[in-house]
Structure 1
Amino acid sequence: MSVHAPTHRAVLGLRENAAQFTLLVAVNALVGGMVGQQQTVLPLLATEEFGLTGYTFIFTYVAAFGITKAAANYFAGTWSDRFGRKPVLLVGWLFAIPVPLMLIAAPNWWWVVAANVLLGINQGLTWSTTVVMKIDLVGPARRGMAMGLNEAAGYGAVAVSSLLAGYLADQYGLRPAPFLLGLSYTAIALLLSGFLIRETRDHARLEASQHTPRADGRHDHLHSDLTNRQIAVQTSFTEPALSSASQAGLVNNLNFGLAWGLFPLLFATADLTAGQIGVLFALYPGVWGAGQLITGALSDRIGRKHLITSGMSLQAAALMLIAASDSFTGWAAGTVLLGAGTAMVYPTLLAVIGDVAHPSWRGRAVGIYRVWRDSGYAVGAILGGIIADLMGLHAAVWGAAVVSAASALAVAVRMYETHPRPRGVSTEKAPRTS
């Protein structure tokens, strides 16, 4: 995307764009709700209605979701820079329409897998686009807060929908009641996205026109005219902060993918009801979602790196507690801590990408980062399934704990601080340039 003056008046800032920002928060809550409607229910559907027993096979739907979501993230970033953000958002929601219908009607497990392929495309296109649009609107001073609000809405909705789906499954059966939530979410999102959401690419152009390099010269090689290949290489491997964020994001979602497929089965070993399992599963994204309301803004005040290393370390400790427990109480404590650790990491990693990427290729950088991050769903599901089949459910959780600790160490060694701010100094009056 070439840098030029915006075609209409655009102003950067959270307060200045409050109405559009709020609409985008609502849309991203609906995006998260599409995932939450099935997380509690599908593992139980696999065992109780389709008679599946091998953990690796059961987790195929999580792997299918992760692979397609990762690929969709790449196209979301590229297309949003090329064609604009709103068209990508609308196309993403069109892919959601068949998902709940297929889950309701599924005569075999492969229908469930196919529905999750479509859901992965929906999630990649819509969630990536709402991230980019919010970063566009707020400018550099409140980037962490913007990501905290975005991710809080999405994962808070995952928690609420998981809880609702568990309740509906308890009261009315595994099908169709829980999946009626998804039909409602899709209809509301299409109305909001089609009629009320506005294009934000001009805000990115405005920020690009005001862009000033870092005083330390660290980003001088990350100029505005990088090719797609150069952006992919920098984000994946060579730029220390971008590539560190990509690996940490992958490990974070490895934990989520493993939790998605494995936790309901692990919790069911204690003869818990579907409602109790729904509560346990809701605690993780619930704390994750609510915590980001604090951690996103906190990263604007104290910086990004220490929140990421501390959050990955806390996730490792939480997984150890879950692996060592065999009761509701221990699992509840572990999922709360896992949610807290994830809250420290999730919006902060996105803020790192926004800090480092030039506004002219920010959408593509976000897309590449999310390719790596959401590949973690598939890695977690497949690796967790294999370990669970060979060594048991608890061993799979122990494996994820070790990987999380290694990720924290890698970030501590390689990542530099991307958003230096004096500790305790508010960014309220920070200039709208980076």
Structure 2
Amino acid sequence: MTAGTSRPVRLGLRANAAQFTLLVAVNALVGGMVGQQQTVLPLLAESEFGLTGYTFIFTYVAAFGITKAIANWFAGTFSDRYGRKPVLLAGWLFAVPVPLMLIAAPNWGWVVAANVLLGINQGLTWSTTVVMKIDLVGPRQRGLAMGLNEAAGYGAVAVTSLLAGYLAEQFALRPAPFLLGIAYTALALLLSGAFVKETRGHAHLEAGQHTPRADGRHDHLHAGLTDRQIWAQTSLKEPALSSASQAGLVNNLNFGLSWGLFPLLFATADLPVGQIGLLFALYPGVWGAGQLITGALSDRVGRKHLITAGMTAQAAALALIAASDGFAGWATGTVLLGAGTAMVYPTLLAVIGDVAHPAWRGRAVGVYRVWRDLGYAVGAVLGGIVADLLGLHAAVWAAAAISAGSALVVAGRMYETHRPRKVSA
């Protein structure tokens, strides 16, 4: 139910099933906008634009990550101030030129510019669908809500990456793969404009029912924090929020590195484009499907240990990929990497929802996602520099070491933010 109707606002997945399902579909389209280009652009860089330096090729990932990170902050701030739906619609308007620019691009600068717009689109739309789903379900089912949201988004990344690779193999690298983006944008604008309803009233309802923790841990995180205080708590001061922010950054460091580097690494074995697309799709595919389990699992067993295990699994997966030089090892590694990411991704968002007060939840999600999505740029730049200096395998080894360090930080600093209890729909 939504504010402004004759029916009362209620919290819970069952009470808001229709809107929740619609938002899952919208977020799948958000993910699909990324998937249309992930397999294709690194290959396009070499074959059509003659780019060979890994750092230069990865500029489009860095541009995407930095822009998305900044857009996340504005998404959180504006959604708390003006409402969720206007931010969602604005984000989709930024997507309109993206596939057209990728189709027409006469040089690599156009690709980078398209990814700046894509970063704005992703930051505004994905952040807003996260906040809207947390609004709808209330405190009991945050993990499940985030699992469904992220499963839809990254499942669509996987499916679209696979489909784009197939279209590129059958028809050429342009324009066929990017026609998917045109269709996704048109459908998303229709759904978001005509059928999605505002959810800020649900957050106001939860804020009115909010009760502090019995142990007093969150007493300093009251409703009246300023934007600067919210930034400081989420980034550095509050142990759970700041631990989640660093783990999110490292998680997306791995994704940003894989986005720019994995297709080039897999191509060293002279694999066809279709197999490269399959290998790349395994990672977000397992990641997406796994979140259907791990998000709900975190509601039952808690958040901290699932995050620690997930970051450890990512470190092991990257080590396996770095040590391999053929399809079998890379396939095993990407599956494990997807499983580790599935443990972490929805659970970190649930931590933010557990700790942040409903009055500034949107801004806390925005700050977390700033740090998390800066990982795209850090991974792209770090991966490019190490690959240029020491080779592709060395870049993956570096990411494995960083992931292991992140797991240690979570294990040592984060506290359990969710007391497991019986979950009802």
Q: TM-score, normalised by structure 2?
A: 0.98
1:250 maps to 249
Residue 158 of structure 2: aligned partner: 159
Q: Which residue of 2 aligns with 1:203?
A: 202
**Which residue is equivalent to 1:314?**
313
1:428 to 2:401 alignment:
no
Whole-angstrom distance in 1 between the partners of 2:414 and 2:83: 31
Alignment correspondent of 1:218: 217
Alignment partner, residue 262 of structure 1:
261
Alignment of 1:68-107 (within 5 A): 68-107=67-106
Distance 1:382 1:33 in 2: 24
- 2:233 equivalent in structure 1: 234
Separation in 2, partners of 1:137, 1:277:
39
Secondary structure of the 1:91 match is helix
1:127 equivalent to 2:126? Answer: yes
The one-character-per-residue Cα deviations of 1:180-219 (angstroms, maximum 9, x if unpaired) are 0000000000000000000000000000000000011100
2:329 counterpart of 1:336:
no
Q: Tell me the distance in 2 between the aligned counterparts of 1:7 and 1:181.
A: 36
Specify the alignment match of 1:395 in structure 2: 394
Residue of structure 1 in register with 2:406 after alignment: 407
Distance 1:406 1:295 in 2: 22
Which residues in structure 2 correspond to 1:135-214 (within 5 Å)? 135-214=134-213
Confirm whether residue 371 of structure 1 aligns to residue 367 of structure 2. Answer: no
Q: Deviations over 1:380-424 (max 9, x none)?
A: 000000000000000000000000000000000000000022xxx
**Aligned with 1:416: secondary structure?**
coil
2:46 paired with 1:47: yes
Alignment partner of 2:269: what SS?
coil
Distance in 2 of aligned mates of 1:271 and 1:44: 13
Q: Distance in 2 between matches of 1:24 and 1:365?
A: 20
**Separation in structure 2 between the aligned mates of residue 324 and residue 146 of structure 1, nearest angstrom:** 36
Shift of 1:290: 0.1
Q: What does the per-residue CA deviation read over 1:215-246, in whole Å, with 9 as the maximum and x for residues that have no partner?
A: 11100000001000000000000000000000
Counterparts of 1:270 and 1:165, CA distance in 2: 21
Q: Distance in 2 between matches of 1:36 and 1:47?
A: 19
Give a deviation string over 1:139-179, Cα, whole Å, max 9, x none: 00000000000000000000000000000000000000000
Counterpart amino acid of 1:350?
A: L
Aligned partner of 1:31: which letter? V
**SS in structure 2 opposite 1:198?**
coil
- SS, match of residue 250 in structure 1: helix
Q: CA deviation at 1:362?
A: 0.1
- What secondary structure is seen at the aligned counterpart in 1 of 2:95? coil
CA shift, 1:7, in A, is 5.7
CA distance in 2, matches of 1:143, 1:108: 44
RMSD (Å) for aligned C-alpha atoms? 1.0
Residue equivalent to 2:13: 14
Which runs of 5 or more residues in structure 1 are unaligned?
A: 1-5, 430-434
Match in the other structure for 1:3:
none
| Separation (CA, whole Å) in 1 of partners of 2:273 and 2:109 | 23
Distance in 2, matches of 1:303 and 1:420, equals: 7
What SS does the aligned partner of 2:325 have?
coil
**How far apart, in 2, do the equivalents of 1:216 and 1:345 lie?**
26
Partner of 1:432: none
Letter in 2 for 1:375: L
**Matched AA of 2:423:** T
CA distance in 2, matches of 1:269, 1:84: 48
Alignment-derived partner of residue 36 in structure 1: 35
How far apart in 1 are the matches of 2:422 and 2:10? 21
* Residues in 2 aligned to 1:137 and 1:49: alpha-carbon distance in whole angstroms: 46
- Equivalence map 1:350-365=2 (5 Å): 350-365=349-364
Amino-acid identity (%)? 83
Q: Give the Cα separation in 2 of the matches to 1:310 and 1:30.
A: 29
**Structure 1 residue 427 displacement after superposition:** 1.7
SS in 2 for 1:315: helix
Deviations 1:97-142 (A, max 9, x none): 0000000000000000000000000000000000000000000000
- Deviation of 1:428 after TM superposition, in Å, equals 1.8
SS across alignment from 1:141:
coil
Match of 2:277 in 1: 278
Count of paired positions? 422
Equivalent AA in structure 2 for residue 140 of structure 1: P
The whole-number CA distance in structure 2 between the counterparts of 1:200 and 1:427 is 22
What CA distance in whole angstroms lies between the structure 2 residues aligned with 1:389 and 1:208? Answer: 51
CA distance in 2, matches of 1:102, 1:7: 39
Alpha-carbon distance in structure 2 between the residues aligned to 1:392 and 1:413: 33
Give the deviation of 1:426 after TM superposition: 2.7
Question: Partners of 2:168 and 2:323 in 1: how far apart?
Answer: 28
Q: Deviation per CA, 1:66-86, whole angstroms, max 9, x where unpaired?
A: 000000000000000000000
Structure 2 runs not aligned, ≥5 long: none
TM-score normalised by the chain length of structure 1: 0.96
Once residues 142 and 130 of structure 1 are traced to their aligned partners in structure 2, the CA distance between those partners, rounded to angstroms, is 16
Provide the rounded CA distance (Å) in 2 between the counterparts of 1:324 and 1:7.
57
Cα separation, 1, equivalents of 2:194 and 2:10: 21
SS of the residue corresponding to residue 52 of structure 1 reads coil
Alignment partners' CA distance in 2, 1:15 and 1:156: 23
Q: Distance in 2 between matches of 1:428 and 1:73?
A: 31
Which residue identity does 2:104 align to in structure 1?
Answer: A
